[in-house]
A and B are shown apart, each in its own frame.
Chain A
């Protein structure tokens, strides 16, 4: 394993960020041509935040929770209710009217996103208290149930004047700039990485590895589990809020269990316990679905129409690919490793460099 020196790595990282920003600016400047690609990238960035938040819980703390959709719904509704322009509210709530306190409650987007996180985190605190005593599968079932309860609450006719019940909310203003989506996502992920690298992150990992031993090392299990759960809920709420702004109109059906499973797939595909894996996974999953649209169109080869190629077929292919990934890359794309320049460098060396030039026996030995 050869290592690059610190300076090269910093230059490479800066270069990567600059390339990403330039690429985005280019897409943004030619929005009319690339709006489809941009919207896929935006959705991926938003999913990346939830995926990392879920990974923080599942991959780093060892708590298997399936409540993501519910917490995203809380975040999404918070942002939607607070950012719909006051003048269009009457039109949105035209059936039942809007609750008096909310009619003029308006917040700028950034404040609404923070509040979305705080609401989701608060809900996580309440739900976490009874639920976190459960272990593994039982925790997953309980959080799944809570997520459905949250969705049912949102759709309940009693809350019509707040959530607009089953009619959903529309006229949510979009992002002022594409860069905000990526900026906020990057900030959220960066914060989670910093948490994981701190002493608290190490405590979370200890709990994942062995609860009994972690407790014997003086780590207060319930406090740290609660902490991980609330942190995860916060960022899930923020990304839910971003999803609402991205979709422009939401209703309770947008936050069904299917959404949670999408996120779970991203986490599994990327590697449980790898932050960069989740980020790659989010982009791959979202983009992959679109690339496979090819299979949805009828295909005619030499006058013969291939029978399977029709609407919905891409999901069959997609599922097959996922099954293959789970079967052959059981640990996902990244396992528990993280992206690193050293890793890339060694990968390239192994697969390219050694093939062009036959190194002397001595050199091979050193590499092994």
Chain B
């Protein structure tokens, strides 16, 4: 088990009567770039929200580096409503909060950019360093943690330099051009020192040039920080070029998995994207 970074087993997420993610099992191995694709409303972002602890899944388990971080089974009203599979397979309830999961080494970006809009680029990154602070409120207030503060600032600055954002460090983050805002969001996620990076549609709204830059950028990140990347993306060029393996979701269900080459020729995937005729042709 420990040779996988992330492991989802039988994850089902049901909102009322709607199953957003249905019996999803997947694994991400160290150093891989894995993409999740699928039509709109396929449950991709919901899967991200389950992995990062924002939603508690209705059933199933998520483990990170072999440690179970999330495990649940239908409870309360859901026991009657539950329409998924594997009922009774999971009896533990484990639900780490998003901040704990980030501390363990899973960082994420958001589909619609969620920067700290009124703060500067530098502050955006610096905030991500707060979680590892050793100093308490008192010593931080009285500036007794001078060295630690300096170290945090230095690390943030280094990160901005590596990611080519150093020249904009004092700008208010919402005033950056769109492509840079996306990059800043990734930089901020990187500041939490993750081993697994979740990117939710990093190329959304980007032009072809920016998308090409992003492809190179993700590759560079992966090499420089020894990262594992799991991403949701709609740009097929980017996905096919960058990913080692692809998972395809449709209506919450996993319909195909494999290398880019395999996925491109998979009939289920073509059907899901292009639709099927009434008589099945």
Residues of chain A having any CB pair with chain B under 8 Å: 191, 194-195, 198-200, 202-203, 205-206, 209-210, 212-221, 227, 231, 336
Across the two chains, which residue of chain A brings its CB closest to B110?
A: A213
* A–B complex contacts, Cβ < 8 Å, 18 sampled: A194-B143, A195-B141, A202-B126, A203-B127, A205-B119, A209-B118, A210-B115, A213-B115, A214-B127, A216-B102, A216-B108, A216-B114, A216-B189, A217-B99, A218-B103, A218-B130, A219-B127, A221-B99
Q: A199, B192: Cβ atoms under 8 Å?
A: no
> Could you say which residues of chain B place their CB within 8 Å of the CB of A215?
97-99, 102
Give, as a whole number of angstroms, the nearest-CB distance from B174 to chain A.
Answer: 10
Q: B108, A200: Cβ atoms under 8 Å?
A: no
| Per-residue interface assignment for chain B, residues 182 to 205, with 1 indicating a CB less than 8 Å from any chain A CB and 0 otherwise | 000000110110000000000000
> Could you say which residues of chain A place their CB within 8 Å of the CB of B192?
217-218
Give, as a whole number of angstroms, the nearest-CB distance from B8 to chain A.
Answer: 19
Q: A217, B128: Cβ atoms under 8 Å?
A: yes
Q: Tell whether B52 is near chain A: CB-to-CB under 8 Å.
A: yes
A202 to B133, CA, bound (A): 12
Q: A219, B140: Cβ atoms under 8 Å?
A: no
> Could you say which residues of chain B place their CB within 8 Å of the CB of A205?
116, 118-119, 123, 127
Q: A212, B99: Cβ atoms under 8 Å?
A: no
> Could you say which residues of chain B place their CB within 8 Å of the CB of A209?
115-119
Identify the 7 closest CB pairs spanning chains A and B, nearest first.
A218-B131, A209-B116, A198-B140, A218-B102, A213-B114, A215-B98, A217-B128
Q: Tell whether B274 is near chain A: CB-to-CB under 8 Å.
A: no
Give, as a whole number of angstroms, the nearest-CB distance from A206 to chain B.
Answer: 5
Assuming the A-B contacts A218-B130, A227-B137, are A212 and B114 also in contact, with contact meaning beta carbons closer than 8 angstroms in the complex? yes
Of the listed residues B107, B123, B128, the one surrounded by the most CB atoms of chain A closer than 10 A to its CB is: B128
A206 to B107, CA, bound (A): 16
Assuming the A-B contacts A206-B116, A213-B115, are A218 and B99 also in contact, with contact meaning beta carbons closer than 8 angstroms in the complex? yes
A220 to B115, CA, bound (A): 17
> Could you say which residues of chain A place their CB within 8 Å of the CB of B191?
217
Q: A216, B127: Cβ atoms under 8 Å?
A: no
Q: Tell whether B32 is near chain A: CB-to-CB under 8 Å.
A: no
Among candidates B107, B108, B133, residue contacting A199 with C-beta atoms closer than 8 Å = B133
> Could you say which residues of chain A place their CB within 8 Å of the CB of B52?
216
Assuming the A-B contacts A194-B141, A202-B123, are A216 and B130 also in contact, with contact meaning beta carbons closer than 8 angstroms in the complex? no
Q: A217, B102: Cβ atoms under 8 Å?
A: yes
Give, as a whole number of angstroms, the nearest-CB distance from A336 to chain B.
Answer: 7
Across the two chains, which residue of chain B brings its CB closest to A223?
A: B99
Give 18 new A-B contacts, CB below 8 A, not counting A199-B140, A200-B141, A202-B123: A194-B143, A198-B141, A199-B130, A200-B137, A202-B119, A202-B127, A205-B118, A209-B116, A210-B117, A212-B98, A213-B115, A213-B116, A215-B97, A218-B102, A218-B128, A218-B131, A219-B131, A227-B137
Of the listed residues A198, A200, A202, A206, the one surrounded by the most CB atoms of chain B closer than 10 A to its CB is: A198
> Could you say which residues of chain A place their CB within 8 Å of the CB of B131?
217-220
Q: A194, B142: Cβ atoms under 8 Å?
A: yes
A240 to B222, CA, bound (A): 55
> Could you say which residues of chain B place their CB within 8 Å of the CB of A216?
52, 98-99, 102, 107-108, 110, 114, 189
Among candidates A199, A210, A218, A221, residue contacting B116 with C-beta atoms closer than 8 Å = A210
Give, as a whole number of angstroms, the nearest-CB distance from A195 to chain B.
Answer: 5
A231 to B123, CA, bound (A): 22
A212 to B117, CA, bound (A): 13
Across the two chains, which residue of chain A brings its CB closest to B109?
A: A216
Among candidates B107, B130, B135, B152, residue contacting A203 with C-beta atoms closer than 8 Å = B130
| Per-residue interface assignment for chain B, residues 119 to 151, with 1 indicating a CB less than 8 Å from any chain A CB and 0 otherwise | 100010011111111010100111100000100
A325 to B54, CA, bound (A): 40
Among candidates A195, A217, A221, residue contacting B137 with C-beta atoms closer than 8 Å = A195
Assuming the A-B contacts A199-B149, A210-B116, are A220 and B99 also in contact, with contact meaning beta carbons closer than 8 angstroms in the complex? yes
**Interface residue ranges of B221-247 to A (CB < 8 Å):** none
Among candidates A191, A194, A217, A231, residue contacting B130 with C-beta atoms closer than 8 Å = A217
Q: B99, A219: Cβ atoms under 8 Å?
A: yes
Across the two chains, which residue of chain B brings its CB closest to A193?
A: B141
A202 to B123, CA, bound (A): 8
A209 to B123, CA, bound (A): 12
Give, as a whole number of angstroms, the nearest-CB distance from A115 to chain B.
Answer: 18
Give, as a whole number of angstroms, the nearest-CB distance from A205 to chain B.
Answer: 6
Give, as a whole number of angstroms, the nearest-CB distance from B123 to chain A.
Answer: 6
> Could you say which residues of chain A place their CB within 8 Å of the CB of B132?
218
Give, as a whole number of angstroms, the nearest-CB distance from B39 to chain A.
Answer: 25
> Could you say which residues of chain B place their CB within 8 Å of the CB of A336?
118
A226 to B142, CA, bound (A): 20
Give, as a whole number of angstroms, the nearest-CB distance from A143 to chain B.
Answer: 22
Give, as a whole number of angstroms, the nearest-CB distance from A342 to chain B.
Answer: 14
Assuming the A-B contacts A203-B130, A217-B131, are A191 and B114 also in contact, with contact meaning beta carbons closer than 8 angstroms in the complex? no
Q: A212, B141: Cβ atoms under 8 Å?
A: no
Assuming the A-B contacts A194-B142, A199-B133, A213-B115, are A206 and B127 also in contact, with contact meaning beta carbons closer than 8 angstroms in the complex? yes
> Could you say which residues of chain A place their CB within 8 Å of the CB of B54?
212
Across the two chains, which residue of chain A brings its CB closest to B128?
A: A217
> Could you say which residues of chain A place their CB within 8 Å of the CB of B137?
195, 198, 200, 227, 231
**Interface residue ranges of B49-95 to A (CB < 8 Å):** 52, 54
Of the listed residues B54, B114, B188, B189, the one surrounded by the most CB atoms of chain A closer than 10 A to its CB is: B114
> Could you say which residues of chain A place their CB within 8 Å of the CB of B110?
212-213, 216
Across the two chains, which residue of chain A brings its CB closest to B129?
A: A199
Across the two chains, which residue of chain B brings its CB closest to A213?
A: B114
> Could you say which residues of chain A place their CB within 8 Å of the CB of B189?
216
Give, as a whole number of angstroms, the nearest-CB distance from B33 to chain A.
Answer: 21
A210 to B130, CA, bound (A): 16
> Could you say which residues of chain B place their CB within 8 Å of the CB of A210?
114-117
Give, as a whole number of angstroms, the nearest-CB distance from A237 to chain B.
Answer: 17
Assuming the A-B contacts A191-B141, A203-B127, A203-B130, are A220 and B97 also in contact, with contact meaning beta carbons closer than 8 angstroms in the complex? yes
